[in-house]
Amino acid sequence: MARKPIIRIIGSLNIDFVTLTPRVPGPGETLEAKSMTVHAGGKGSNQAVACGKAAYTSPTEQDVQVEMLGAVGAGDPYYASLLKPTLTKSGVDTRYVEEVEGVQTGTATIIVDEGSNGENRILFVPGANHHVDDLDKIISTTTQDGVPDVIVMQGEIPKPTVLGLLSTFNSDRHKTCVVFNPAPMFDTIPLSALKDLAVLVVNETECLLLFKAVQELRDIETPSEENLTPHLDRLTSHLHDLASISIVVVTLGSRGLYYSVASKPTRQQARGLIPAAKVAKVVDTTGAGDTFVGYLSTALARHVSKQGSLEGFDVQEASLRANEAAAKCVQRSGAMESIPFGYEI
Ligand code: ATP
């Protein structure tokens, strides 16, 4: 039997402690809050869950193998009782999650201020995520059992690891496609790190950093976050030209998304704007971006495993489906829980 396409997510795993409060306490003040709930989280594991769920073609069948590589604290009861079961239930293989002695699993303490439209304040403690730092070991683990068709990365593990993996796996040597979502945003995104990247996915905030990076080399105006769209053709032309990135996707929240593809031999560019799918009621947008990345990466893995390369990948079709999935996500509450299964789309 032919092997299934493989996606490996190399990224963070966190436990989220979410406190709802009527307002944020002042210095020295103790305030009675409304509730505290504990959730599985982390940008890496959210996107792993999105890939895992997207791969379900029916409630019992998954056509893509999804693997998480990262680190948690050894003996962490929240990993054992919450995070690992959530990943497993979503069809994610956790055998490459290392349990590191003497450190805590990463945490995010999220304060939701109900008095100001549910605005979040987040304290992130990287913990074991900082131990995803042995580049040689990660590269050998990722190449020894056959290189995955797609590698998905974000910005919540140490920056030298991310940059080292990008420069290793973006080269043609390794016959894999990297999907990079630099979230939560790096303070700068060096174009040199994106050289030959297969797929870059950014939201509006991260997109502004790309304008800044391009501005250092080319004459380009940086627009406001609200007025990005008319400037995206120019930005992406420069990105294809300066860094040879094959596909750039900018997610635009309730306005949908923009994509641009440059095919390598002809350098021909195809681009388009896809409006967000209409939803009856937006309940919670947390995880919408991760859902999009997961669905796009899963479609890409299916293509690469069949064709052997990115060439011919229908970005528009994959983005339309990812857009539908993300719209489903915003109509449900929670992060991982709200991500739909592939057979629901
Ligand atoms: P998050 O950090 O919350 O995961 P993000 O900032 O990375 O989100 P967004 O650009 O806000 O990502 O949204 C990702 C995708 O989700 C959009 O491209 C769109 O497809 C979908 N989406 C977001 N908001 C809405 C909405 N109000 N209605 C329909 N679809 C939406």
| 20-31 pLDDT per residue, tens | 999 999 999 999
Query: Ligand 1 pocket, 154 CB below 6 A?
Result: no
Q: What is the pLDDT of residue 58?
A: 97
Residue nearest to atom 7 of ligand 1 (CA): 289
With CA atoms as reference, report the closest residue to 155 among 282, 298, 43, 305.
43
The neighbouring-strand residues paired with 71 are 98
CA distance 143 to 163: 17
Q: What is the pLDDT of residues 320-337, one digit of tens each?
A: 999 999 999 999 888 899
CA dihedral (40, 45, 51, 56) positive or negative: negative
Torsional class of 206: left (φ above 0), alpha (ψ -120 to 50), beta (otherwise): alpha
The model's confidence at residue 71, banded by pLDDT at 50, 70 and 90, is very high
Residue ranges at the known binding site: 14-16, 42-46, 156, 203, 251-256, 284, 286, 289-290, 323, 329, 332, 334, 338
Atom of ligand 1 nearest to the CA of 287: 4
Distance 184 CA to ligand 1 centre (A): 14
Q: What is the pLDDT of residue 263?
A: 75
CA distance 156 to 183: 7
Q: What is the pLDDT of residue 328?
A: 96
Structural contact between residues 303 and 254, judged by C-beta atoms closer than 8 angstroms? no
Q: What is the pLDDT of residue 334?
A: 81
The model's confidence at residue 265, banded by pLDDT at 50, 70 and 90, is low
Exactly one of 113, 133, 149, 290 is catalytic; which is it?
290
With CA atoms as reference, report the closest residue to 207 among 176, 177, 186.
186
Q: What is the pLDDT of residue 118?
A: 67
Q: What are phi and psi of 93, to 5 degrees?
A: -80, 125
Residue 27 CB neighbour total at 10 angstroms: 4
**Mean model confidence pLDDT for the chain:** 93
Query: Is pLDDT of 210 > 70?
Result: yes
> Which residue type sits at 217?
L
CA distance 292 to 288: 6
* Mean pLDDT to the nearest integer, 220-237: 92
Using a pLDDT cut of 70, give the percent of the chain over it.
97
Provide the token pair at 239. 């990105």
Q: What is the pLDDT of residue 190?
A: 85
Q: What is the pLDDT of residues 77-127, one digit of tens each?
A: 999 999 999 999 999 999 999 999 999 999 999 998 888 776 788 899 999
